Amino acid sequence: MSREVMAAVIRGAGGFVEEAESKLAEAVQARGEDQKVAFPDTAFFLPMIYALMGLEVKTLADLKAVMAHCRELLPAEPTEKLWLPYLGDGLDAGIATLLAMEATCAIRYLNEEPIEEGCTGFISDTIQRELG
C-alpha cells in the first residue's frame, strides 16, 4: 500500500477524532458528564463501540474513554525515509474513525440535530430484526 494513501487515511482519521473530541467537549460543558447518551430504540448502547470495545456507553463521561482509545489507535503518519508495512496502521486508523463517528452521531442525537437529507439516521433494533 502506498505511503501517500496511508498518510491520507491517517490524516482523515485524525480529523474525525478531533471533530468527535470537540463535540464531546461542547456537550460536556453544556450538559455535564453525567448526561445520558444513547441511540433510540436499541438495547446495545452505542452498538459499534459496544461491538468493538465491549464498552457500555451510557453517559458523556463514558465517551471520554472511547475518545482516549481513539487517540491510542491513531498512528503517526509514515515518514519519507522509513518504509514499513502500513496495513496495520491503516486498519487502526479506520477503527478510530468508526468509533469517533459513532460518538459524533450519538451527540448529534443528544442535541436533536436534524438528520441529513437522504440519510435514514440510526436504524433501530426492531427494524434490524424485520430486515433480517
CATH number at residue 88: 1.10.8.190
Structurally, the chain folds into a number of domains equal to 1
Sign of CA dihedral 84, 88, 91, 93: negative
Question: What's the pTM?
Answer: 0.89
**In whole angstroms, how far apart are CA 126 and each of 40, 41, 49?**
11, 8, 19
Query: Could you give the CA distance from residue 128 to residue 16 in angstroms, rounded to a whole number?
Result: 26
Query: Could you give the CA distance from residue 39 to residue 30 in angstroms, rounded to a whole number?
Result: 19
Domain enclosing residue 96, as ranges: 3-131
Packing angle between helix 60-73 and helix 3-31, nearest 10 degrees?
A: 160
Per-residue pLDDT in tens (0 to 9) along the chain, 132 residues: 588 888 999 999 999 999 999 999 999 999 999 999 999 888 889 999 999 999 999 999 999 999 999 999 999 988 877 767 778 899 999 999 999 999 999 999 999 998 888 888 888 878 888 887
Give the helix ranges, DSSP H, for 32-86. Answer: 47-53, 60-73
Q: What are phi and psi of 91, to 5 degrees?
A: -65, -40
> Residue 127 has which C-alpha cell?
427494524
Q: Do 66 and 60 meet the contact criterion of CB atoms below 8 Å apart?
A: no
